C-alpha cells in the first residue's frame, strides 16, 4: 500500500522548547528591576514603573501556574493556582509588615478577609452572572461547590470572627496558645479538603457538562484530517490538548523566578503604596484590598473564561480554593512568623465586616445548594462585593 502524500516527513515539526513570549520574559525583567532598585530611594516615576512591572509579573507568574495546572488537570489544576496565589499573598503581607510594623498590625486580617469577600462575592458572582447570561443557567456540582463553600465559611469564622469573642483583655488578637491551635486547625481543615478534592471524591469537583470541552477536540480532529498542519479550533488559534513536559518544566522555573521577583518588588514598593493611601485619605484597610485585588486578578480572568465556556465548576473551584488557601495556608505561616515579626497578629473583624460576611455566606449557600444558578444569583453576590469595597473605602 503506497504512502499518503501527507507522510510524517512532510508534517511541520513541533519546536521542542516553546517560543519565548511575554510570560517568559517578564519574570526575568522583574528580577532585573528588583536588583537595580533594591535598597534605593525611588522617585515617584520609578515607583509607578515598578508597580506596573509588579502587576505584570503577577500576571506572568499565574500564567505559568496555569500551564502547570493544565498539565496536571482538574481538580489538581485549581489547587496549583490557589497555592501559587497564596504564596504571592503571603510574600506581600510579610514584606509590607516588615516595612511598616506600626501601620501594618491589621494588614494580614484586611488582606485575607478581602480575598475571602472578593472570591465569595466577586469572582463567584461574576462567574455565575456571565455564565447564566450566556447559557441561560449556570450549572455546577452542588456537592463539590458546597463542600468548598462550607470549608471557607468555617475557616473565616474560626480565624477572624472568634477573636472578637475570646480573650477580651487581648483586644482582637488571639493569645499565643489560641493562635497556635487555630493555625493547626486551619491546616487540618485545608488538608482534609484537599484530600477530598484530589483523592476521595475528586469527581465532585469536575464540570458536570464536559461537552463544551469535547467540541474543540472534534473540530481539531476534523482539521487534522483535512490537512497535515497543527491542530486548530473554531477560531483558528492553535489548540494544544496538554502542554509538553519541557514546556511545563520551563513554566515551573519561570514561576519560581516570578514569585521571587513579586515578593522582592513588594518590599521595594511598600513605602510608596502606604504613602499613596495616606495621601488620598483612605483607611489603612485599603492596602489589604489592593493586595487582594492584585493577587486575584489573574485567577479572576481564568474563572470568567471558564464560566464563558460553561464550566462554572472550575470557576467555583478557583474562587473557593483561593479563599480556602488564603486562610488555611496564610494563617499558619503568619502564626509561625510571629516569632520574629515585630507585632502580634490582629485578626478580629469589625462588626460591619462580620455582618457583610454573614449575609454573603447565607446568599452563597442558597445559591450553591440547587446546583444551578440564574444571573440573578450572580448579580446578588456582585452587589455584596461592591458593598464590601465601598464600605472599605468609605467606612
- Contacts of 204 by beta carbon, 8 Å cutoff, 6+ apart: 141, 143, 144, 147, 197
Whole-number average pLDDT of the chain: 78
What does the block give as the cell for 168?
Answer: 477580651
For 165-233, the three-class secondary structure string (H helix, E strand, C coil) is: HCCHHHCCCCCHHHHHHHHHHHHHHHHHHHHHHHHHCHHHHCCCCCHHHHHHHHHHHHHHHHCCCCCEC
What's residue 342's pLDDT? 64
- Considering the entire predicted model, what is its pTM? 0.77
| Domain with 133 in it | 21-393
Among candidate residues 330, 311, 324, 319, the one with its CA nearest the CA of residue 120: 319
> Is a pLDDT exceeding 70 seen at residue 206?
yes
Alpha-carbon torsion angle 224, 229, 234, 237, nearest 10: 150
> Is a pLDDT exceeding 90 seen at residue 207?
no
What's residue 158's pLDDT? 93
**Rounded mean pLDDT of 76-100?**
69
pLDDT band at 377 (very low <50, low <70, confident <90, very high): very high
What does the block give as the cell for 17?
Answer: 522548547
What's residue 114's pLDDT? 92
pLDDT band at 29 (very low <50, low <70, confident <90, very high): confident
* Secondary element (H or E) of residue 372: strand 372-373
Higher-confidence residue of 137 and 12: namely 137
- Spell out a b/e string for 178-201, using b for 16 or more CB atoms within 10 Å of the CB, else e: ebeebbebbbebbeebbebbbeee
Identify the CATH number of the domain in which residue 307 sits: 1.20.1420.30
What's residue 98's pLDDT? 66
In a domain, 360, yes or no: yes
Give the lowest-confidence range in 59-63, 213-217, 351-355: 213-217
- Give the C-alpha distances (Å, rounded to integers) separating 49 from 43, 55, 269: 10, 10, 10
In a domain, 128, yes or no: yes
- Contacts of 13 by beta carbon, 8 Å cutoff, 6+ apart: none
**Rounded mean pLDDT of 275-289?**
83
Q: How far apart are CA 257 and CA 28, in angstroms?
A: 7
Q: How far apart are CA 120 and CA 151, in angstroms?
A: 12
What's residue 365's pLDDT? 95
In a domain, 13, yes or no: no
Q: DSSP letter for 5, please.
A: S
- The DSSP annotation for 305-319 comes to HHHHTT-HHHHHHHH
What's residue 389's pLDDT? 94
> Is a pLDDT exceeding 80 seen at residue 122?
yes
In a domain, 160, yes or no: yes
Is residue 262 within 8 A of residue 54, CB to CB? The reply is yes
In a domain, 5, yes or no: no
> Is a pLDDT exceeding 60 seen at residue 221?
no
Q: How far apart are CA 340 and CA 338, in angstroms?
A: 5
**Rounded mean pLDDT of 363-380?**
93
Most confident of 143-157, 166-180, 285-299: 143-157
In a domain, 9, yes or no: no
* Bond prior to 75 in cis (omega within 30° of 0): yes
Burial of 354 (0-12, 13-18, 19+ CB in 10 A): middle
Q: How many domains does the chain have?
A: 1
In a domain, 12, yes or no: no
> Is a pLDDT exceeding 50 seen at residue 10?
no
In a domain, 86, yes or no: yes
> Is a pLDDT exceeding 80 seen at residue 97?
no
SS3 at position 139? strand
| The length of the chain, given as a count of residues | 395
Give the number of other CB atoms < 10 A from CB of residue 204: 19
Radius of gyration in angstroms for the set of CA atoms belonging to the chain, rounded to a whole number: 22
Amino acid at each position: 500500500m503506497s504512502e499518503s502524500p501527507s507522510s510524517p516527513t512532510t508534517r511541520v515539526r513541533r519546536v521542542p522548547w516553546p517560543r519565548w513570549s511575554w510570560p517568559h520574559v517578564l519574570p526575568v525583567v522583574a528580577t532585573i528591576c528588583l536588583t537595580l532598585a533594591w535598597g534605593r530611594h525611588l522617585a515617584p516615576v520609578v515607583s509607578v514603573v515598578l508597580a506596573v512591572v509588579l502587576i505584570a509579573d503577577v500576571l506572568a507568574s499565574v500564567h505559568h501556574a496555569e500551564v502547570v495546572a493544565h498539565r496536571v488537570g482538574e481538580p489538581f489544576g485549581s489547587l496549583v493556582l490557589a497555592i501559587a496565589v497564596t504564596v504571592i499573598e503571603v510574600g506581600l503581607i510579610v514584606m509590607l509588615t516588615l516595612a511598616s510594623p506600626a501601620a501594618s498590625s491589621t494588614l494580614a486580617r484586611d488582606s485575607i478577609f478581602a480575598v475571602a469577600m472578593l472570591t465569595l462575592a466577586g469572582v463567584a458572582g461574576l462567574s455565575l452572572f456571565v455564565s447564566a447570561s450566556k447559557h441561560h443557567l449556570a450549572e455546577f456540582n452542588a456537592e463539590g461547590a458546597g463542600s468548598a463553600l462550607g470549608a471557607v465559611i468555617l475557616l473565616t469564622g474560626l480565624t477572624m470572627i472568634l477573636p472578637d469573642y475570646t480573650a477580651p483583655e487581648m483586644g482582637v488578637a488571639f493569645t499565643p496558645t489560641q493562635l497556635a491551635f487555630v493555625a493547626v486547625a486551619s491546616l487540618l481543615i485545608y488538608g482534609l479538603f484537599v484530600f477530598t478534592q484530589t483523592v476521595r471524591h475528586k469527581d465532585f469537583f469536575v464540570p458536570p457538562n464536559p461537552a463544551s470541552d469535547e467540541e474543540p477536540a472534534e473540530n481539531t480532529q476534523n482539521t487534522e484530517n483535512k490537512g497535515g498542519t497543527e491542530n486548530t479550533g473554531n477560531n483558528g488559534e492553535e489548540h494544544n490538548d496538554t502542554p509538553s513536559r519541557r514546556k511545563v518544566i520551563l513554566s515551573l522555573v519561570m514561576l519560581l523566578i516570578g514569585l521571587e521577583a513579586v515578593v522582592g518588588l513588594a518590599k521595594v514598593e511598600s513605602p510608596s503604596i502606604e504613602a499613596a493611601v495616606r495621601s488620598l485619605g483612605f483607611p489603612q484597610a485599603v492596602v489589604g484590598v489592593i493586595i487582594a485585588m492584585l493577587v486575584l486578578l489573574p485567577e479572576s480572568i481564568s474563572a470568567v473564561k471558564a464560566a464563558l465556556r460553561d464550566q462554572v465548576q472550575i470557576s467555583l473551584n478557583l474562587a473557593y480554593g483561593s479563599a480556602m488557601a488564603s486562610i488555611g495556608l496564610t494563617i499558619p505561616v503568619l502564626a509561625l512568623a510571629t516569632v520574629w515579626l515585630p507585632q502580634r497578629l490582629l485578626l478580629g473583624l469589625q462588626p460591619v465586616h462580620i455582618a457583610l460576611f454573614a449575609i454573603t455566606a447565607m446568599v452563597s449557600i442558597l445559591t450553591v445548594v440547587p446546583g444551578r444558578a440564574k444571573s440573578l444569583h450572580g448579580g446578588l453576590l456582585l452587589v455584596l462585593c461592591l458593598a464590601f469595597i465601598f464600605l472599605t473605602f468609605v467606612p
